[in-house]
Amino acid sequence: MKSKLFQRFAGNPKMLRMMMKSAPAMDRLAHRLTGGRFTMSGSVMPIMVLDTIGSKSGQPRRSPLQYVKHGNDFLVIGSNFGGTAHPAWSTNLLKTPDAAASVGGKSFPVTARLLAGAERDEAWRVALEQWPPFENYVAQAGGREFRIFRLEPTERPPA
């Protein structure tokens, strides 16, 4: 019930703008303070913290992201809360696909693969089943096609 109510709010353009500004910073802080065991957004949707290397700076970057579990892998959608630009983490993965994911306080290495064609279409269908507000984000993004990545663990994620 809690997630369904949040999904209704997440489809609202004003709520999206507020979430875009505040949610990532709150999630990074909660993740750091709890040793990776908790994020604010994680109470209503599955959240991972993805560590990438900045495509321009070469510096480590940390991004809390909603994910969709798909088999042994994780799907992440570059919706940027419906923003018109691709999120920086997605550009980072294009340049350096090796990254680290943290889920529930457990960290593990992953390799990112940008999906295209039928594989992307299937991933989008699965993502919409789990988080219908993604469809609202498309309208907000002005026609931008979201990058969808499959994060493949290179080691078995800790249980």
- In this structure, what CATH number is given to the domain that contains residue 38? 2.30.110.10
Is 159 inside a domain boundary? no
Q: Would residue 158 count as lying in a domain?
A: no
> How far apart (Å, rounded) are the C-alpha atoms in residues 64 and 26?
9
Give the whole-number percent of the chain exceeding pLDDT 70. 70
So what's the pLDDT on residue 47? 85
**146: in domain:** yes
Q: What is the mean pLDDT of the chain?
A: 82
Overall number of domains in the chain: 1
Whether 58 is covered by a domain: the verdict is: yes
Residue 141 counted as domain residue: yes
The SS3 of residue 92 is: helix
pLDDT band at 30 (very low <50, low <70, confident <90, very high): low
Q: Does residue 76 carry a pLDDT above 50?
A: yes
**What is the C-alpha separation between 117 and 115, in angstroms, rounded?**
7
Q: Has residue 127 been placed in a domain? A: yes
Rounded to two decimals, the pTM is 0.75
Query: Residues of 75-85 as b/e, b for ≥16 C-beta within 10 angstroms?
Result: bbbbbbbbbee
Note down the domain range covering 121: 2-153
User: Residue 149: pLDDT band by 50, 70, 90 thresholds?
Assistant: very high
Question: Is residue 56 included in any domain, yes or no?
Answer: yes
Predicted confidence at residue 104, as pLDDT, reads 82
Q: What is the pLDDT of residues 111-139, one digit of tens each?
A: 999 999 999 999 999 999 988 888 888 88
Residue 121 domain flag:
yes
